[in-house]
């Protein structure tokens, strides 16, 4: 009788051990999955901090293609053929009305805005040059293009806002040149012409 009772308790102990080990395994897997989820979230974090925002805009729904060409103090260039250079990045390369319409589940969604944006993620001492290039032209009339330059930190400050006219394919104009001093102050704004296209084309070869 005692042997039967002992055998019964022994079977219960084995079952309890199996149940405990199973629960422990589930808890361990849950902890691993939770850590992986947290790691994924952290790796997806992107530092979106920017110091300067450059916006180039021309009339909505206009078919012409205008490109921003920006040079930093080190001579690095950002343009449609080189979207990243040093601390500068071309966020959007707008090609006029090309690819403005997309089909989503049978519905055509249109974006009529023509705008290119360049962000400068860190300021370097020296001169920045912002040029406009009339890459594709469909009309003889001059194309009005507005340029806005904003300094974002510590508060948003409008550095420049002006309108320029481009006169056909290959026309390149300097919209703005400015200096950044050692204290990160922006000064000496001017529009003295400086061609960047030849340099850009040579650097792309």
Q: Domain holding 115: CATH number?
A: 2.60.60.30
Secondary structure letter of residue 53 according to DSSP = E
Cα–Cα distance for residue pair 102/194, rounded to 1 Å? 37
169 and 77 in a common domain? yes
Instruction: Please give the pLDDT value at position 154.
Output: 86
Cα–Cα distance for residue pair 151/68, rounded to 1 Å? 18
User: Which residue, among 64, 58, 54, has the nearest Cα to 96 in the 3D structure?
Assistant: 64
62 and 41 in a common domain? no
72 and 2 in a common domain? no
95 and 37 in a common domain? no
Instruction: Please give the pLDDT value at position 130.
Output: 98
84 and 8 in a common domain? no
Ranges of residues in the chain whose predicted pLDDT is under 70: 1-48, 93-112, 199-200, 202-205
Helix (H, G, I), strand (E, B) or coil at 39: helix
109 and 38 in a common domain? no
Instruction: Please give the pLDDT value at position 197.
Output: 84
Range of the domain at 28: 1-45
64 and 27 in a common domain? no
72 and 168 in a common domain? yes
161 and 126 in a common domain? yes
Instruction: Please give the pLDDT value at position 96.
Output: 47
66 and 15 in a common domain? no
123 and 41 in a common domain? no
Cα–Cα distance for residue pair 42/12, rounded to 1 Å? 45
User: Which residue, among 129, 118, 123, 113, has the nearest Cα to 196 in the 3D structure?
Assistant: 129
The number of distinct structural domains making up the chain is 2
**pLDDT tens digits, one per residue of 47-88:** 457 899 999 999 988 899 999 999 999 999 999 889 999 999
Instruction: Please give the pLDDT value at position 72.
Output: 96
Instruction: Please give the pLDDT value at position 34.
Output: 58
Instruction: Please give the pLDDT value at position 178.
Output: 97
184 and 129 in a common domain? yes
Instruction: Please give the pLDDT value at position 58.
Output: 93
Instruction: Please give the pLDDT value at position 129.
Output: 98
């Amino acid at each position: 009788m005692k042997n039967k009772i002992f055998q019964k308790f022994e079977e219960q102990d084995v079952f309890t051990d199996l149940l405990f080990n199973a629960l422990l395994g589930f808890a361990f897997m849950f902890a691993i999955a939770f850590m992986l989820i947290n790691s994924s979230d952290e790796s997806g974090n992107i530092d979106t901090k920017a110091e300067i925002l450059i916006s180039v805009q021309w009339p909505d729904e206009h078919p012409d293609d205008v490109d921003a060409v920006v040079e930093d103090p080190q001579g690095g260039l950002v343009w449609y053929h080189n979207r990243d250079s040093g601390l500068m990045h071309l966020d959007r390369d707008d090609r006029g009305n090309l690819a403005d319409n997309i089909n989503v589940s049978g519905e055509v969604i249109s974006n009529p805005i023509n705008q290119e944006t360049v962000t400068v993620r860190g300021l370097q001492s020296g001169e920045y040059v912002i040029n406009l290039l009339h890459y594709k032209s469909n009309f003889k009339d001059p194309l009005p293009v507005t340029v806005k330059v904003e300094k974002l930190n510590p508060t948003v400050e409008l550095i420049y806002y002006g309108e320029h006219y481009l006169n056909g394919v290959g026309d390149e104009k300097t919209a703005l040149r400015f200096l950044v001093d050692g204290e990160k102050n922006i000064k000496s704004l001017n529009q003295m012409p400086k061609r960047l296209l030849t340099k850009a084309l040579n650097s792309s070869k």
